[in-house]
Amino acid sequence: MEYTKNFDIRNGRNLTMLVDFYELTMGNGYLESGAGNTIAYFDMFFRKIPDGGGYCIMAGVQQIIEYLSNLKFTNDDIEYLREKNIFSEKFLDYLKNFEFCCDVWAIPEGNPVFPNEPLVVVRGPAIQAQFIETMILLTINHQTLIATKANRICRAAKGRPIMEFGSRRAQGYDGAIYGARAAVIGGCDSTACTITEQMFGIPAVGTMAHSWIQLFSSEYESFKAWADVYPDNCVLLIDTYNVLKSGLPNAIKVFNEVLLPKGYRPKGVRIDSGDITYLTQKCRKILDEAGFSDVNIVVSNSLDEFIIRDVLSQGAKIDSFGVGERLITAKSEPVFGGVYKLVAVEDDNRNIIPKIKISENEEKITNPGFKKIFRIFDKTDNKAIADLITLQEEVIDQTESMELFDPVFTWKKKRIKDFYTKELLVKIFDKGKLVYESPDVMEIKNIVKEETEKFWPAVLRFENPHNYYIDLSKGLWDLKQQLLHEYSSEYEE
C-alpha cells in the first residue's frame, strides 16, 4: 500500500493559526508602519548541541514544506482576528489573500549540523518571513532534537536494532507521530506507533503487554494462546511474574509444545524489568541449552544511550532494544534551543543591509548577512574537516589552498589544500513556489548513515567529542567585527 505522504493535508488539518500572537501584532505593525514589504532575511540556527554531543541530525524539513505549502487563513480565522480589535482591515485583507512568496533554503534532513550555522534561511517580505517563525522553530526544534537523541541511542546499541516505543509518554499526539518519524531518521529501525507506518512507511511493530498475560488464567495459558494465533512471529513477554522461575520456562514449554510440532521457530522473548545484564545472560544460556540459540532477546524498560552502553559493556546478551520515554521526550535534555533571527534587510535599491543582534553574552551575538555554508572535505580520505559559513557572494577556489581560522581565537589558523566542498543549504521555495522534493523517511535514514560516516569517529563520540570546526570566512568575520564595533562605540561607558 502506498503510504500517505502528507498526513495533515489528508486530514485537512490547517496549522496556519499555530503562531505566536506577536508574529501577528508585528505583521500588522510592519504593514501599518510601511515596512510590511521590506525584504527581510532570517536565519534559523541553534547554539548548543544537546547532551554535550558532537553534532545534531537535521530533521523536520518535510513538515516545513507541508506547512508552507498550505498556509491559508480561513474566514473563521479572519473573523477571530477582527474581534481582537487591534488589527487593521488592510492587514486582515492581506491575510485573507495571503500568498506565500518567500525564498526558503534549508539543510536537507539527515545531515549532521552544528551550532551557529543557519539550518533554514528565509528571504521575503517582513510580514511573511516574520509570520512563519513559530512553525519553523517548532518543527525543526522538535524533530532535530529527537533525531539527534535517537542517533545517540542507536550508536550506543552498536548495530542492534532499536524499536521506538514512546507514544504513551510523548508530549502530545504530534510528539508521538513526528517524534517517531524523527527517531527513525536518527537511526531507529521501527516504531510501535501504528499511524506512522501509514503516514511515512516506517515499519510499525509490537507484540504483547503484561495485560495479555494477566487476562488469561495463567502465564502458560496466555503464551499458548499467543503461539496459537501468531505461530510465525512469536515473541513472548516473560517478566510478568518471574523471568527465570516462570516466564522463560513457560516460554520454552510453549515453544516446544506448540511451535515446533507445527514446524515454526520461535522469534524471541522480551524482558521489561529487572537486572537486564544478569537476566539476559541467564536467559541466553538457558535458551541456547534448550536448542533456541536463534531466539532473540529483546529488552525494554526506561532505556537510553547510557544504560544501553552500560549493560552491553557488562556483557548483557541482547539482540534488540525497545526504547520509550527517554527517547520520545529526549528526557536528558528535552529542549532544542533553535532561534530565528533577522540577519539582513534590503533597501529600496535591493542592496542587502546586514543586521546583527548584539548581546552581553558573546555566544548570543548573531552572524549578520545573507549567508551560505560549505562543508569542506579532505580529498585524500573524504572526511569532513570543517564547515565554513560565508557571505552569499563569496566563492571558494578549490584549486588553491585556503586558510581557516577560529572565529574567536583568530590566531588559531590552519591552511588546507586538496579539499573539496559541498554547499549545505538547498533552495526549497523560490518566491513561494516549492522547488524541492523531500526524500522518504527511509531514504533520509540512509542519508544519516552516509553523512555521519564522513566524520572522524572523534566527532561522533557521545561524550566529550572532538569539536568540529565551524568557521567564518574572512569576509563574514570582517563584516561582523565592523558591525560590533559600530554598536559598541555607541554604548561605551
Binders of its own copies in range 341-380 (CB under 8 A): 341-342, 345, 355, 357-361, 364
Residue 256: name the closest of 292, 304, 306, 286 by CA: 292
Which amino acid is present at 268? G
| Region binding its own copies by CB under 8 A among candidate stretches 226-234, 388-396, 429-437, 443-451 | 226-234
302, 105 contact by CB (below 8 A): no
Considering beta carbons, is residue 297 or 460 the nearer one to its own copies? 297
Considering beta carbons, is residue 384 or 483 the nearer one to its own copies? 483
Q: Which of 62, 116, 130, 250 binds its own copies (CB under 8 A)?
A: 130
Considering beta carbons, is residue 28 or 277 the nearer one to its own copies? 28
Exposed / middle / buried, residue 121 (Cβ in 10 Å: 0-12, 13-18, 19+): buried
CB 405, min distance to its own copies, A: 28
Q: Does 150 bind its own copies (CB under 8 A)?
A: no
For residue 31, report the phi and psi dihedrals to the nearest 5 degrees: -65, -45
Considering beta carbons, is residue 74 or 382 the nearer one to its own copies? 74
CB 67, min distance to its own copies, A: 9
Q: Which of 233, 401, 446, 467 binds its own copies (CB under 8 A)?
A: 233
166, 369 contact by CB (below 8 A): no
CA torsion through residues 199, 45, 151, 442, sign? positive
Residue 163: name the closest of 203, 200, 197, 196 by CA: 203
Q: Which of 116, 128, 144, 207 binds its own copies (CB under 8 A)?
A: 207
Vertex 11 angle, CA 131 and 75, to 5°:
50
Q: Which of 246, 256, 392, 398 binds its own copies (CB under 8 A)?
A: 246
| Region binding its own copies by CB under 8 A among candidate stretches 208-216, 372-380, 430-438, 466-474 | 208-216
| Region binding its own copies by CB under 8 A among candidate stretches 36-44, 251-259, 433-441, 451-459 | 36-44
Q: How many residues does the chain have?
A: 493
Q: Does 156 bind its own copies (CB under 8 A)?
A: no
As a whole number of angstroms, the distance between CA 465 and CA 457 comes to: 9
CB 397, min distance to its own copies, A: 34
CA torsion through residues 320, 323, 327, 328, sign? positive
Considering beta carbons, is residue 195 or 434 the nearer one to its own copies? 195
Q: Does 197 bind its own copies (CB under 8 A)?
A: yes
Cβ-proximal residues to 356 (8 Å cutoff; 6+ apart), any chain: 343, 365, 366, 368, 480, 483, 484, 487
25, 127 contact by CB (below 8 A): no
Within 435-474, the residues that bind its own copies by CB under 8 A are none
Q: Does 186 bind its own copies (CB under 8 A)?
A: no
Q: Which of 175, 249, 432, 475 binds its own copies (CB under 8 A)?
A: 175
Within 389-428, the residues that bind its own copies by CB under 8 A are none
Considering beta carbons, is residue 37 or 481 the nearer one to its own copies? 37
CB 143, min distance to its own copies, A: 9
Considering beta carbons, is residue 113 or 404 the nearer one to its own copies? 113
| Region binding its own copies by CB under 8 A among candidate stretches 280-288, 456-464, 466-474, 484-492 | 484-492
Which cell numbers in the block locate residue 462? Answer: 557521545
CB 44, min distance to its own copies, A: 10
Per-residue binding string, its own copies, 12-31, x by CB under 8 A, is: xxxx-xxxxxxxxxx-xxx-
Q: Does 137 bind its own copies (CB under 8 A)?
A: yes
CB 291, min distance to its own copies, A: 25
Within 255-284, the residues that bind its own copies by CB under 8 A are 273-274
Q: Does 165 bind its own copies (CB under 8 A)?
A: yes
460, 452 contact by CB (below 8 A): yes
Considering beta carbons, is residue 198 or 421 the nearer one to its own copies? 198
273, 322 contact by CB (below 8 A): no
Which amino acid is present at 62? Q
433, 276 contact by CB (below 8 A): no
Considering beta carbons, is residue 317 or 326 the nearer one to its own copies? 326
Q: Does 306 bind its own copies (CB under 8 A)?
A: no
345, 30 contact by CB (below 8 A): no
Cβ-proximal residues to 346 (8 Å cutoff; 6+ apart), any chain: 38, 39, 352, 353
Which cell numbers in the block locate residue 185? Answer: 531518521
Exposed / middle / buried, residue 253 (Cβ in 10 Å: 0-12, 13-18, 19+): middle
Q: Does 41 bind its own copies (CB under 8 A)?
A: no
CB 161, min distance to its own copies, A: 15
Q: Which of 5, 70, 96, 216 binds its own copies (CB under 8 A)?
A: 216
As a whole number of angstroms, the distance between CA 283 and CA 244 comes to: 7
Q: How far apart are the first and last CA of the chain?
A: 68
